[in-house]
Structures are given as structure tokens and as C-alpha cells.
């Protein structure tokens, strides 16, 4: 009974430490300011106020020390960092008591100010290290307005999601954001460190936190989904919680074996995770369009652009201050193999090329294959044939290819296997057969092929007019 | 006075007006002010911060221009159901409301609320449709839209859209111009102002109406407001020739029309050089465009040359004014590089005042009229590889109440719902919109939005974002301050992107 009471009280009082410490901080600083001000002859009267303030400051410093010591016994802090903070705190309390004595008995008058100054320096240092213990060592430096922007680093824009490392790029940023502050080198709450794969594997005082790829049995996930009022809930009540997406990522990572090195593409994508991954794909924003390269390119020469504009072909930068261009021949139905030569001077810049309903033929495709940055190519209703598609392998970046209403056949589209980047292929109104489609789908499972020809069922309700029955 | 004398007199009078002492002094002052301001602002340009001020401004205001960042959407098809369709019979399934059917509305819901027509204590009206879940996304769609229910995995629903206008006119203005008061440019005008037109033979912004009436707010919903009038929507007629005088009148051949327009424009260019009024440029480009449209419009706007299976897909009946025809036209226009196609379909104002405007009959019939066309539009864009770069938006100007309308406190002849501003459903598809997505939730009876609230300006911000614009930077200097479509609001709805 006695021990139980004692244990409860010590922790309870200990938790007042963060509150109590602010009293000596305020009071001792005021005492120091009064001390300095009283040196001015006109304000000399203030000297009398120093002692009462100092006494309160010293008493609260002692109280804070006691509470701090009680709190430290609850464990979970890095010993070295804690020792430093503790001895500095005790130092502050001791000096403040000493100063009270000096003042009360008017001893060493000349030492009052210097000793006060030392006390304030010590106080600041103790406060800083105390803050580090609670919030983590990089709490202050992470928010530095200049230099390396750490918060941006913590949530990197994931441009190439399938190739992203699951632990490095998805899991670690979450732990860093929501868990590191209590589970780091300095503040091992529950004996657990979550900074670094080795530390996660080691687990905490209750053993490993990841068990056999079963998230529901692993403390690292289990505690995150406990009721918020539960003592074991992590992060504890009042601290920033994980978002549903972050929970889903941790669940998936543990379920798939908590590998330190796997990439997104290597792990099996559950339906739930696919939704989260879809949401993480870069969308909007200046650098997010999947059809425009990230790197920069010089602006196209005005002369080359003018040559195309002259025959009615529109050349437009994809965005302001972006060298890459999109080209649309909607006003140049006569655009054909000869005119395609005008594209070559812009080969570094062209990313989107819309040649639908023009005379673009197979020999034009030979020229187009020399456009290394091309990502979108519209060839619908043009005279291109299989012979033209043999050239397209040169467009390594090609992601979108529209062949609607062309004469391409099975032979031609099977050549597209060489375009590894191809994601979308449109074959409506072509002679391509299901057999070739099957083969292509097997070879390129990531690619979306649309052969169109959609019909809608005829329903009774299509023509049914609803009227009130009239009698 | 002879006719020619009259014209000369008028010209002299106009010139005199411009060169009066008052005008001279005014020009001196504003000119000086403008010069000073111009030098202060440096290369100030319509896109703040774009820094391309040194480029000589083209005489053609519809010259294609680059957006702020690479766009996901090259075109927008905006399907507006004028009158406001009932979300409670189409997409927002509320089984709890069924249980409360015919019970008096609890006063706690009505407290402090104003409705357009509901007075006193109305009764609750349960969903008048059978709902089921569809597709992999398990989206709820009622049996009013059997064809569209197969398309849910291609669209993203916004289930908690809110507006602050409960009358049609202001609400439509708000939805299309970002302000419930007259005078602001419409979304399509902003987009054409920002991007110009890719197809120099067609307008950048085309409007098609169906349902027998134009929207309550009038043509201002596709007006250009304070933007130069060249950016306003060009309304094409839904019946007969899409553009008047598209065929050459008797005794006037094409060449002669070209010569006359050429001569008029030469005069207009002189006017522009003298007065530098951008409206003159609008005039010039509209004459030119009108002439070019006579060549290209008959081909683009004629749905007769479409194959039979396409007509079957859309359910089109050539020659008739119909929403289906307009959907097919919208696809053809987008194919030709038109930036913004705005469809208005009138007849969704289901108060229950008559059979055609009732929840029990009219709404079913209206739903049938759009069900096949909108599904066909999505499928057709998809098979042509165009859905990828075309943003399709569907919605009304507000939603409808979970309570049955009791106009003047009386029982109505048909079931009806009143205007409702607090929560209604819209959807978007294509061009980087999440497939099978849904954002926002309403409470158990569909009265209030509880999660994922979306404001009208958020819709605008999202449309502009997909077109490659930062909605905060697409501005126009007017009356001494920069204006924008989203005024001081607008957040891109990232939840339905990607």
C-alpha cells in the first residue's frame, strides 16, 4: 500500500516539472534584469526588489529540481543528456540560493551582478537541453528558416513511385514526423528507438515491435490503432496522430515483411494500398505532369517555330518559362512527310505532338522517332501503317500513343513492346485482333490498351416516358 | 440627309468627341499616370510574374498561350443541369431519410434556415428512387441513371458541394462566374483569356443549350464580364444552322464576303492604331473568326456525318434540339481543339408544381434524357483517347432539400423538393481526375455536409488547376485591382486528383 502510494505520487509530482520550471526561468530573469537596472543611479531604488524576487525564484528552482528528479526516475531518457540537464538545473538552483544568502546578508556586493549573469547563462543552457529532452534534439534546428529545409526533406515528392524505396521514402518519413521525438537516441521511451532500421529491429523493453509480418500482432502497428483513451495508444493522446494513409503505409510495409530495401514495385499491392499509392502520385503542381520531363531545356529558336507556324502548325511552350513544347497540327490538315522535317530542329523540346487528321505517314514517323523527349503522340486518322511503327522504338519516353482509325495491324502493334515506357495505347477502329492484344497485354501488363467500340445495352427505360395515370 | 452624309456626319462627330479639349486634357493626365504606373510596375503582364512583358503583344487576342504549369486538361466539357437536379434521387443515398418519409421535419433542422419556397413545417420526403452500388468503387447511383451507373469507375463524385445562393439566377452566376452579381467573366472566358484558342477556325469557348430555355441567369453565365468581349462564349444554335448565315446568301459569293470583311478590318485596324482600345481587336478577330467559322463550322457542327453506331450510342436525333446532340457536338468540338464547351440543359427545377417539374415524373424523364448521352460522351472520349486530356464536369447550381416542398404552406399536386444550398452532388471525370473517387459526405438525411465540404470557388480552382493555372495568379486588372475567378477563396480539391 505504502509503496503503491509512493510510486503514484512521485510520478504525479514529477509530471509538474515542465510546469514548475517556467517559474524559476521567469523569476530569475526578472531578478537579473532588476539587478542590472538598479546599477543606474536613478533606478537604484529597484535594488530593494531584487531579494524578494530572487527568493521566490530560488524556491521554485529547488521545487523544479525535485520534480525533475522524480520525473527522471520514470525512465525513458538518454542518460548522458539527462545528466547534463539535471546538473545544470541543480547548478541554477544552488547559485540562486547562494545569491539569496549574499543579498540577505549583504556579502560580496561586487559579485552580485557577475554571479547573476553566470546564473542566467546556466539557466538558458539548462532550459535548452531540457527542451531537447522533451521535443527531440533537432526540434529547434529542424525549423531553421535558412539553410537546409528539413521539413521539405521529410515528405519528399515521390516522382517515380514504383521505384521508390518503401522504407526510405515512405515509412521513415512517417516515423521521423510522428515517432522520433520520443523514440530517439536521447529519449528512449519504452526503451525503444525508431530512428534507423537496426533500432526498429531491436525493439523496446517489451521485446520486438514487429512480429512475423502480422501488423495486428506487431506493437509498431497495434498501438497506433488502439482507442485514443487507451494508455498504450501511440502517439499518446494530444500528440500529432498518424493520418489514415500513413497507417495504411505502415500496415502494408509490415504485412509485406518490413523489408529495409524493397521498392514499391517489388511488393504485392493490396487493393487498400493501391488507393493510398494512387493518392501519392504527383498531381497538379508545376513539376507534376507525368508527360513533361523534370529537367530543363533551352528555349526553341524563334526561327524554327516560325517555320512551323507558317504552315499553320501551332507550337506552344507546355508552360510559362518552360522550354518544352506541345505541337498541334489541327489547322494544318495537309501536314505530311515533307513537313515533318520541320520538327527536327525542335527535337530537344517537343514532348507532345498532335498530328491527328493529317497526312502524316510512315516516313514522317522515321523523323518523329528522332524526337527523344516525345511523351504523347496523336496519330489518329492518319495514313500511318505497320511500317511506320517499326521506327517508333526510337521514342524511349513515349507514354501515350493514339492510333485510332489507322491502318496498323497485329504485326505493327507487337513492335511496340520495344517502347517500354508506353502506358496508354488507343486502337479504336483498327484491324488489330484480340490474339495480338492478348500477347501485348501479357508482355506489357502495366499498359492500358483501349480498343473502344463501346455499346450500351438497350433498356426498356431508355424510351419509357413517365406520366401520371389519368382516369 | 442622305445616307452617306449621315455616316460621314457620325464619323466626324465621333472623331470630334475623341479630340475635344476635355478629352485632350483627360488623355494627358491618364496618359501620364499610366506611363508612371507602367514604369513602376515594370514588365507588368496579364500573368503576374510571368515576366514575358517584352514580347510584342499579338494583334490576335485568341493567339494560343502557355499556362502557368503543364496542364493535365486541354479541354473542358461542363455539363450544367440548369434548375438544380435532386442529389437525393440520383447520387446521395439516404436510407435514414426513407424512414422519416412523411413525418414532420424536426424544428431543430429548420431553426435559423431560410428556404426559397418552403414555409412553416414541411414533411420529410424519402428518396424517390431505388439505389444500388456500382463498379469497383461501389458508388451509389439510383435506377434513374442505369447507363451512367456503369461509368462510376471513371468519375470522382463531390458529395458535399455548398453554395450560398438559393435562387437560380444568382446561383448560376456564382457557379459560372464566381460571383452572384453580374459583371464577372465566366470560367470559359477566363480559360480562353489564359490560353487563347488552338484552333484558329473555331472559337475557344462554345456554348450549347437544350431543354427549351436558356439558364435563368441569362447569357451572362457565359459572358466575358470585364474581360475583352472576344473571350465570351459563342452560343451555337441547337436547331437548324448552328451559326446564322453560315451559307452564302444569294448574289453574294464567298470571295465578296471575304473582301468586305477584309475592308472592314482594315478600317478597324486604323481605329485601333488611333485609339488602342482592346475592344477593337475583339471586333477584328470576331469578324475574322466569323468568316473562318463559315468554312469549318458546317463540318464540325454537323452530326449527320457521324456513323449510325455513334448515333445509337448517344441516342441522338439529328435536326432536333436535344441534350444528346449537344453531347455529341461537344465531343466533336473538343476533338477540334476547342478549349471550353459549355452545355446547359434546362428543366431540372423539380418543385412539384407540375408534372414536368416534379420529383416523381419530371425528374425521371430528365434523367433518362441525359443518362445515355453523358455515358456515351464519357465512353466516346475514352475510346478516342481524349478523356485523358478532357475534363468533364457535371452539376447544377445547387441541390434540393430532404423536405418535401409545401409552397405557401399548402400541399403540392406532385412531389417536389425546394432549393438547397448546404449540400449537393457534382462529379468530374477525365484529365487527371481520380477514377472511382468520391469526396465529401452529408449527414444521415442529406441535409448538411459533414465531411469534405467543397465550395463553388474550390470547383473553379480545381478546373483551372487541371488546365494548368494557379487560380491565384490568373488575374485581370480592372477598376484598380487584380480580379480573379476565385475572388479571395478557392482551394484545389486534391482529394479527387491523381
Q: Which residues contact B458 (CB under 8 A, 6 or more apart)?
A: B489, B490, B491, B492, B493
Write down the pLDDT at residue B485: 93
Average pLDDT over residues A54-83: 87
Write down the pLDDT at residue A163: 79
Write down the pLDDT at residue A182: 84
Which of A54-63, A127-136, B431-440 has the weakest average pLDDT? A127-136
Write down the pLDDT at residue B29: 61
Q: Return the higher-pLDDT residue of A288 and A365.
A: A365
CATH class of the domain at B75-242+307-496: alpha beta
Cβ atoms of A343 and A377 closer than 8 Å: no
Cβ atoms of A17 and A62 closer than 8 Å: no
Residue B311, preceding peptide bond in cis (omega within 30° of 0): no
Closest residue in A to B462 (Cα) is A284
Across the interface, of B201, B313, B337, the residue whose CB is closest to A328 is: B337
Per-residue exposure over B383-403, b if at least 16 CB sit within 10 Å of its own CB, e if not: bbbbbbbbbbbbbbbbbbbbb
- Residue A259, pLDDT > 80, answer yes
Write down the pLDDT at residue B39: 47
For residues A294 and A26, what is the distance between their CA atoms, to the nearest angstrom?
52
Write down the pLDDT at residue B103: 92
For residues B171 and A375, what is the distance between their CA atoms, to the nearest angstrom?
41
Which of A221-235, B18-32, B89-103, B363-377 has the weakest average pLDDT? B18-32
Cβ atoms of B45 and B56 closer than 8 Å: no
For residues B435 and B457, what is the distance between their CA atoms, to the nearest angstrom?
22
Residues in chain B closer than 8 A to A314 (CB atoms): 64, 198
Chain A contact for B376 (CB, 8 A cutoff): yes
Q: Which residues contact A341 (CB under 8 A, 6 or more apart)?
A: A367
Q: Return the higher-pLDDT residue of B435 and B254.
A: B435
For residues B119 and B410, what is the distance between their CA atoms, to the nearest angstrom?
9
As a whole number of Å, the CA-based R_g of chain B is 25
The model's pLDDT over B99-110, given as tens digits with 9 standing for 90+, comes to 999 999 988 888
Residues in chain A closer than 8 A to B198 (CB atoms): 314, 316, 328, 330
Q: Return the higher-pLDDT residue of B497 and A74.
A: B497
Q: Do B198 and A314 touch (CB under 8 A)?
A: yes
**B 278-307 residues with CB < 8 A to A:** none
Across the interface, of B313, B337, B466, the residue whose CB is closest to A455 is: B313
Which of A299-303, A322-326, B7-11 has the weakest average pLDDT? B7-11
- Residue A140, pLDDT > 80, answer no
Distance from CA of B23 to the nearest CA of A (A): 39
Interface test with B, best of A427, A447, A466, A469 (most B CBs within 10 A): A466
Residues in chain A closer than 8 A to B415 (CB atoms): none
Q: Do A317 and B66 touch (CB under 8 A)?
A: yes
Give residue B226's Cα distance to chain centre: 17
Write down the pLDDT at residue A7: 52
Range with top average pLDDT, A66-75, A407-416, B247-256: A407-416
The model's pLDDT over A357-393, given as tens digits with 9 standing for 90+, comes to 999 989 899 989 888 889 999 999 999 999 888 888 8
Looking at the DSSP assignment, which residues form a beta bridge with residue A188? A183
Interface test with A, best of B385, B432, B462 (most A CBs within 10 A): B385
- Compute the C-alpha angle A91/A121/A149, nearest 5°: 120
Write down the pLDDT at residue A146: 60
Cβ atoms of B402 and B447 closer than 8 Å: yes
- Residue A47, pLDDT > 60, answer yes
Distance from CA of A47 to the nearest CA of B (A): 56
The predicted complex's ipTM stands at: 0.82
Positive or negative torsion for Cα B349, B352, B353, B357: positive
**B 60-89 residues with CB < 8 A to A:** 64-72
3-state secondary structure chain B: CCHHHHHHHHHHHHHHHHCCHHHHHHHHHHHHHHHHHHHHHCCCCCECCCCCCCCCCCCCCCCCCCCCCCCCCCEEEEEEEECCCCHHHHCCCCHHHHHCCCCECCHHHHCCCCCCCECCCCEECCCCCCEEEECCCCEEEECCCCCHHHHHHHEEEEEEEECCCCCHHHHHHHHHHCCCCCCCCCHHHHHHHHHCCCCCCCCCEEEEEECCCCCCCHHHHHCCCCCCHHHCCEECCCCCCCCCCCCCCCCCCHHHHHHHHHHHHHHHHHHHHHHCCHHHHHHHHHHHHHHHHHHHHHHHCCHHHCCHHHHHHHCCCCCCCCHHHHHHHHHHHHHCCCCEEEEEEECCCCCCCCCCCCCCCHHHHHHHHHHHHHHHHHHHHHHCCCHHHEEEEEECCCEEEEEECCECCCCCCCCCEEEECCCEEEEEECCCECCCEEECEECCCCCCEEECCEEHHHHHHHHHHHCCCCCCCEEEEECCEEEECCCCCCCCCHHHEC
Distance from CA of A319 to the nearest CA of B (A): 5
Chain A contact for B315 (CB, 8 A cutoff): yes
Across the interface, of A278, A454, A464, the residue whose CB is closest to B434 is: A278
- Residue B257, pLDDT > 90, answer no
Which of A80-94, A157-171, A388-402 has the weakest average pLDDT? A157-171
For residues B359 and B349, what is the distance between their CA atoms, to the nearest angstrom?
9
Average pLDDT over residues A107-126: 91
Looking at the DSSP assignment, which residues form a beta bridge with residue A350? A325
Residues in chain A closer than 8 A to B199 (CB atoms): 330-331
Which of A88-92, A261-265, B162-166 has the weakest average pLDDT? A261-265
The model's pLDDT over B21-75, given as tens digits with 9 standing for 90+, comes to 666 666 666 555 555 554 444 433 444 333 333 333 456 778 888 888 889 999 9
Across the interface, of B68, B309, B494, the residue whose CB is closest to A319 is: B68
Q: Return the higher-pLDDT residue of B15 and A223.
A: A223
Q: Which residues contact A93 (CB under 8 A, 6 or more apart)?
A: A24, A58, A61, A62, A64, A65
- Compute the C-alpha angle B228/B233/B237, nearest 5°: 140
Cβ atoms of A369 and A392 closer than 8 Å: yes
Q: Do A456 and B147 touch (CB under 8 A)?
A: yes
3-state secondary structure chain A: CHHHHHHHHHHHHHCCHHHHCHHHHHHHHHHHHHHHHCCCHHHHHHHHHHHHHHHHHHHHHHHHHHHHHHHHCCCCCCHHHHHHHHHHHHHHHHHHHHHHHHHHCCCCHHHHHHHHHHHHHHHHHHHHHHHHHHHCCCCCHHHCCCCCCHHHHHCCCCCCHHHCEHHHHHHHHHHHHHCCCCECCCCEHHHCCCCCHHHHHHCECCECCCCCCCHHHCHHHHHHHCCCCCCCCCCCCCCCCCCHHHHHHHHHHHHCCCCCCCEHHHCCCCHHHHHHHHHHCCCCCCCCCCCCCCCCCCCCCHHHHHHHHHCCCEEEECCCCCCCEEEECCCCCCCCCCHHHHHHHHCCCEEEEECCCCCCCHHHHHHHCCCCCCCEEECCCCCCCHHHHCHHHHCCCCCEEECCCCCCCHHHHHHHHHCCCCCEEECCCCCCCHHHHHHHHHHCCCCEEECCCCCCCCCHHHCCCCCCCCC
Residues in chain A closer than 8 A to B379 (CB atoms): 454, 456
Which of B149-153, B268-272, B296-300 has the weakest average pLDDT? B296-300
Q: Do B384 and A378 touch (CB under 8 A)?
A: no
Write down the pLDDT at residue B291: 81
Positive or negative torsion for Cα B485, B489, B495, B498: positive
Q: Do B52 and A281 touch (CB under 8 A)?
A: no
Range with top average pLDDT, A125-139, A198-212, A262-276, A438-452: A438-452
pLDDT band at A156 (very low <50, low <70, confident <90, very high): very low
Q: Do A468 and B355 touch (CB under 8 A)?
A: yes
pLDDT band at B378 (very low <50, low <70, confident <90, very high): very high
pLDDT band at A160 (very low <50, low <70, confident <90, very high): confident
Residues in chain A closer than 8 A to B383 (CB atoms): 404, 426, 428, 450-454
**B 446-465 residues with CB < 8 A to A:** 465
Write down the pLDDT at residue B34: 55
pLDDT band at A64 (very low <50, low <70, confident <90, very high): very high
Express as a percent the part of chain A with pLDDT over 90: 28
Residues in chain A closer than 8 A to B53 (CB atoms): none
Distance from CA of B269 to the nearest CA of A (A): 22
Q: In the structure grid, which three cell numbers stand for residue A172, read together? A: 521513415
Contacts across the A-B interface (CB distance below 8 Å): 133
Cβ atoms within 10 Å of A199's Cβ, excluding its own: 17
Q: Return the higher-pLDDT residue of B365 and A143.
A: B365
Range with top average pLDDT, A169-173, A376-380, B7-11, B37-41: A376-380
- Compute the C-alpha angle A259/A264/A266, nearest 5°: 70
Helices B254-275 & B278-300 angle (0-180, nearest 10): 160
pLDDT band at A460 (very low <50, low <70, confident <90, very high): confident
Q: Return the higher-pLDDT residue of A245 and B89.
A: B89
- Residue A334, pLDDT > 60, answer yes
Q: Do A465 and B365 touch (CB under 8 A)?
A: yes
Interface test with A, best of B383, B431, B467, B468 (most A CBs within 10 A): B383
- Residue A285, pLDDT > 70, answer no
Distance from CA of B200 to the nearest CA of A (A): 7
Q: Do B309 and A314 touch (CB under 8 A)?
A: no
Q: Do A278 and B52 touch (CB under 8 A)?
A: no
Average pLDDT over residues A341-356: 91
pLDDT band at A337 (very low <50, low <70, confident <90, very high): confident
Q: What is the distance between the terminal CA atoms of chain B, rounded to a whole angstrom?
A: 68
Average pLDDT over residues A335-354: 90
Distance from CA of B389 to the nearest CA of A (A): 11
Average pLDDT along chain A: 84
Q: Return the higher-pLDDT residue of A1 and B450.
A: B450
Closest residue in B to A290 (Cα) is B72
Q: In the structure grid, which three cell numbers stand for residue B98, read together? A: 426513407
The number of residues in chain B equals: 498
The model's pLDDT over A183-219, given as tens digits with 9 standing for 90+, comes to 888 778 888 888 888 888 888 888 888 887 888 888 8
For residues A37 and A32, what is the distance between their CA atoms, to the nearest angstrom?
9
Q: Do B70 and A286 touch (CB under 8 A)?
A: yes
Write down the pLDDT at residue A101: 93
Pairing type for strands B390-395 and B75-82 reads parallel
- Residue A123, pLDDT > 90, answer yes
Interface test with B, best of A456, A463, A468 (most B CBs within 10 A): A456
Q: Do B69 and A317 touch (CB under 8 A)?
A: no
Express as a percent the part of chain A with pLDDT over 70: 90
pLDDT band at A449 (very low <50, low <70, confident <90, very high): very high
Average pLDDT over residues A256-273: 80
Amino acid at each position: 500500500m505504502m509503496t503503491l502510494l509512493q510510486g503514484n505520487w512521485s510520478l504525479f509530482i514529477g509530471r509538474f516539472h515542465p510546469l514548475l520550471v517556467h517559474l524559476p526561468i521567469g523569476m530569475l530573469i526578472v531578478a537579473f534584469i532588476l539587478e542590472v537596472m538598479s546599477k543606474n543611479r536613478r533606478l537604484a531604488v529597484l535594488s530593494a526588489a531584487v531579494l524578494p524576487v530572487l527568493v521566490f525564484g530560488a524556491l521554485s528552482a529547488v521545487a523544479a529540481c525535485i520534480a525533475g528528479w522524480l520525473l527522471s526516475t520514470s525512465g525513458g531518457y538518454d542518460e548522458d543528456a539527462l545528466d547534463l540537464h539535471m546538473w545544470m538545473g541543480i547548478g541554477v538552483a544552488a547559485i540562486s540560493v547562494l545569491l539569496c544568502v549574499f543579498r540577505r546578508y549583504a556579502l560580496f556586493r561586487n559579485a552580485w551582478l557577475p554571479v547573476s549573469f553566470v546564473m542566467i547563462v546556466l539557466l538558458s543552457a539548462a532550459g535548452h537541453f531540457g527542451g531537447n529532452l522533451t521535443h527531440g534534439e533537432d526540434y529547434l534546428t529542424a525549423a531553421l528558416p535558412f539553410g537546409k529545409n528539413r521539413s521539405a526533406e521529410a515528405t519528399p515528392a515521390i516522382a517515380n513511385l514504383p521505384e521508390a524505396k518503401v522504407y526510405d521514402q515512405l515509412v521513415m518519413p512517417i516515423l521521423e514526423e510522428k515517432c522520433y521525438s520520443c523514440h530517439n537516441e536521447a529519449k528512449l521511451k519504452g526503451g525503444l528507438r525508431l530512428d534507423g532500421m537496426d533500432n526498429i529491429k531491436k525493439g523496446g523493453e517489451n521485446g520486438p515491435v514487429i512480429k512475423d509480418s502480422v501488423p495486428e500482432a506487431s506493437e509498431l502497428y497495434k498501438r497506433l490503432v488502439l482507442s485514443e483513451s487507451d494508455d498504450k495508444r501511440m502517439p499518446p493522446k494530444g500528440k500529432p496522430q498518424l493520418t489514415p494513409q500513413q497507417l495504411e503505409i505502415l500496415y502494408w510495409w509490415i504485412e509485406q515483411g518490413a523489408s529495409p530495401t524493397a521498392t514499391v514495385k517489388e511488393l504485392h499491392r493490396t487493393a487498400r494500398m493501391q488507393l493510398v499509392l494512387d493518392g501519392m502520385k504527383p498531381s497538379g503542381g508545376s513539376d507534376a505532369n507525368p508527360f513533361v520531363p523534370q529537367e530543363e531545356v533551352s528555349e526553341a529558336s524563334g526561327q524554327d517555330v516560325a517555320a512551323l507556324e507558317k504552315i499553320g502548325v501551332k507550337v506552344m511552350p507546355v508552360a510559362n518559362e518552360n522550354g518544352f513544347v506541345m505541337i498541334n497540327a489541327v489547322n494544318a490538315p495537309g501536314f505530311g512527310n515533307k513537313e515533318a522535317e520541320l520538327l527536327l530542329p525542335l527535337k530537344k523540346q517537343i514532348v507532345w505532338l498532335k498530328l491527328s487528321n493529317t497526312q502524316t505517314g510512315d516516313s514522317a514517323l522515321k523523323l518523329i522517332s528522332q524526337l527523344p523527349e516525345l511523351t504523347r503522340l496523336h496519330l489518329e486518322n492518319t495514313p500511318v501503317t505497320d511500317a511506320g511503327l517499326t521506327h517508333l522504338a526510337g521514342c524511349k519516353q513515349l507514354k501515350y500513343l493514339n492510333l485510332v482509325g489507322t491502318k496498323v495491324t497485329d504485326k505493327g502493334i507487337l513492335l511496340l513492346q520495344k517502347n517500354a515506357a508506353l502506358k496508354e495505347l488507343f486502337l479504336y477502329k483498327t484491324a488489330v485482333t484480340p490474339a495480338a492484344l492478348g500477347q501485348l497485354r501479357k508482355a506489357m501488363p502495366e499498359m492500358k490498351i483501349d480498343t473502344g467500340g463501346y455499346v450500351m445495352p438497350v433498356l426498356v427505360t431508355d424510351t419509357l416516358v413517365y406520366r401520371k395515370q389519368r382516369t | 440627309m442622305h445616307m452617306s452624309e449621315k455616316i460621314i456626319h457620325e464619323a466626324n462627330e465621333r472623331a470630334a468627341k475623341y479630340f475635344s479639349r476635355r478629352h485632350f486634357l483627360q488623355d494627358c493626365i491618364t496618359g501620364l499616370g499610366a506611363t508612371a504606373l507602367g514604369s513602376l510596375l515594370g514588365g507588368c503582364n496579364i500573368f503576374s510574374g510571368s515576366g514575358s512583358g517584352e514580347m510584342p503583344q499579338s494583334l490576335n487576342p485568341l493567339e494560343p498561350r502557355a499556362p502557368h504549369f503543364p496542364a493535365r486538361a486541354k479541354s473542358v466539357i461542363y455539363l450544367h443541369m440548369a434548375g438544380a437536379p435532386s442529389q437525393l434521387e440520383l447520387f446521395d443515398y439516404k436510407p435514414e431519410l426513407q424512414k422519416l418519409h412523411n413525418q414532420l421535419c424536426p424544428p431543430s433542422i429548420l431553426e435559423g434556415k431560410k428556404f426559397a419556397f418552403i414555409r412553416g413545417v414541411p414533411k420529410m420526403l424519402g428518396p424517390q428512387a431505388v439505389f444500388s452500388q456500382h463498379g469497383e468503387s461501389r458508388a451509389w447511383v439510383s435506377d434513374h441513371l442505369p447507363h451512367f451507373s456503369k461509368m462510376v469507375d471513371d468519375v470522382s463524385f463531390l458529395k458535399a458541394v455548398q453554395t450560398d445562393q438559393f435562387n437560380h439566377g444568382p446561383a448560376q452566376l456564382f457557379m459560372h462566374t464566381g460571383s452572384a452579381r453580374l459583371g464577372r467573366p465566366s470560367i470559359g472566358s477566363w480559360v480562353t483569356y489564359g490560353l487563347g484558342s488552338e484552333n484558329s477556325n473555331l472559337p475557344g469557348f462554345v456554348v450549347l443549350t437544350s431543354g427549351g430555355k436558356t439558364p435563368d441567369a441569362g447569357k451572362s453565365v457565359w459572358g466575358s464580364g470585364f474581360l475583352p468581349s472576344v473571350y465570351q462564349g459563342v452560343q451555337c444554335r441547337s436547331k437548324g444552322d448552328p451559326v446564322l448565315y453560315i451559307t452564302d446568301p444569294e448574289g453574294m459569293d464567298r470571295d465578296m464576303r471575304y473582301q468586305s470583311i477584309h475592308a472592314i478590318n482594315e478600317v478597324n485596324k486604323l481605329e485601333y492604331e488611333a485609339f488602342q482600345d482592346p475592344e477593337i481587336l475583339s471586333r477584328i478577330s470576331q469578324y475574322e473568326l466569323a468568316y473562318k467559322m463559315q468554312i469549318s463550322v458546317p463540318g464540325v457542327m454537323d452530326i449527320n456525318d457521324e456513323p449510325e453506331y455513334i448515333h445509337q450510342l448517344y441516342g441522338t436525333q439529328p435536326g432536333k434540339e436535344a441534350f444528346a446532340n449537344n453531347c455529341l457536338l461537344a465531343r466533336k468540338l473538343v476533338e477540334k481543339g476547342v478549349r471550353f464547351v459549355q452545355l446547359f440543359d434546362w428543366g431540372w427545377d423539380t418543385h412539384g408544381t407540375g408534372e414536368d417539374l416534379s420529383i416523381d415524373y419530371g425528374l425521371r424523364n430528365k434523367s433518362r434524357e441525359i443518362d445515355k448521352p453523358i455515358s456515351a460522351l464519357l465512353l466516346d472520349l475514352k475510346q478516342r483517347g481524349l478523356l485523358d486530356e478532357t475534363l468533364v464536369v457535371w452539376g447544377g447550381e445547387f441541390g434540393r432539400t430532404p423536405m418535401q416542398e409545401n409552397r405557401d404552406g399548402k400541399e403540392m399536386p406532385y412531389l417536389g423538393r425546394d432549393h438547397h444550398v448546404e449540400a449537393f452532388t457534382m462529379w468530374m471525370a477525365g484529365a487527371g481526375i481520380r477514377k472511382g473517387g468520391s469526396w465529401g459526405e452529408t449527414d444521415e438525411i442529406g441535409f448538411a455536409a459533414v465531411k469534405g465540404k467543397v465550395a463553388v470557388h474550390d470547383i473553379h480552382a480545381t478546373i483551372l488547376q487541371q488546365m494548368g493555372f494557379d487560380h491565384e495568379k490568373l488575374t485581370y486588372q480592372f477598376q484598380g485591382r487584380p480580379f480573379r475567378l476565385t475572388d479571395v477563396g478557392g482551394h484545389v480539391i486534391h482529394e479527387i486528383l491523381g
